[in-house]
Structure 1
């Protein structure tokens, strides 16, 4: 069931909330301009939008003739310190879609993200387009649901479409295919439209190069197989990444090519990639939005079910095995 919509711009999660996503009318919102627009033959026009707080790329692609469109990996604004959530970025995206006269037919997720809250359900409410994700999201839900006291029943119906490898997605005169790219997560997929592939969290630009594979269900060897699949595409295929972490004040970028990755990506040249990836992942910090992001995103962008007082709360599991956990300290 879609969360109840309340007409106000902001909402809080940390202390709990009654109702659902609160928003403002997009009629008065300034459209967010795309960072870049990419045009290629027999390929939907691709417009890119960067969320600085989570270093996430959102993509809007459309058929040049019919203006039928898809949105990939949209983002809500979330402040982890206050629990404050805003739809400002999503509203700017909606305003852009409206002024561009695009007809959004698909809202697509590459996977259940652990670093930002998805705006998929919010866009669904406004655009009346289905939200789809890789079919192995059910495995992710079974893994993470119990950790946040979410029953499997409460997770049913979170997504309108569960996508299989090779499945076709149509946008007017253009069509694309789903590519199953497990490794970072079991449900992870990419989307290939003509000469453009939206790779999600699998392969990255320097200095990150490749995704981590240490989340439950992640497998480094599977990640390498997924990257090898991408590297088997034509050299001029443009790869649109899920994030960019440029560092050193460098300009962010959203894309690379297969040829450039084969030349410049040191990770994929390694003979023992899986071992390298596992060792590197053991030194990485937990994403700061992991807990709110996972329990929100495995529900397709819905708040957790309300407690008896009518308030919906995000939960943080306590994982220590110290005396606190044993109940000897109160």
Structure 2
């Protein structure tokens, strides 16, 4: 059964992004390496998926390291003192450890000692869900000034190097934003998140399952995905999400300055966007150079666009996401002047 959480724009001050950040591993993994691993001819990945390269963490890097790097960058860009952060919400489905959560460790690492902290897991849809949580805090509690939302995923740790359905798609990375109050005409204009648990079998596996002993044929811990089913869902729901967002906001397609999507598959996302009527210059694409960075793909896209100078005050941004569960959703945001401050990108 499909469940839906809808949140229209509240009265009074808006909730928007005050600063963005991202952090990527240094190690680049080429298509040639991936194609050898999945036993496909040269050029297969680019032709079928549209990914040119991706980043993987090294043996001594973790999702926590990436999360801290992105969080620090977002805090610096926002100009917010870590002590002013009221909550740290960490979105991941590839946590380094089941206990403690990454969120509490990030809270300690960045010095946000007045903040509650916890993790959320909505897979690749985690950032949008985290923003919904943070927005709810700021709307409900006048005493809370800002919320730090961090998304970090290291899918390379749960991929089968021989699986052509998953190994070429994913990359590692983290993105972060600081949410705070902005003028009433700016910030989040409306959002909606859906979940259909009867589709949970579309994407399964991952770090919650024990890694078998060396030499074992058990591959349960690897991420498994029915790519065709996921793609069919994206093609079905993408236009609905766009139409609902336009109807709720009262905007036209031409008034959307930027479309920032979860980078499930560059070819698929670009095709769905263009079929919905978006022009290429409206689409923020990072999956070609980074692959699918899970929950981190939208905040990384926002940070890349902000640092490139593409995001200007008053710009209308539509975010669309799909994740395991299955969970999917959209959010419309009007960019604020505060979100235009940026700092140099960092590596773990």
Same fold (TM over 0.5): no
Higher normalized helix content (fraction of residues): 2
Structure richer in strand, relative to its length: 2
Compare CA radii of gyration and give the structure with the larger one. 1
Q: Which has the higher contact order (CA 8 A, sep 6+)?
A: 2
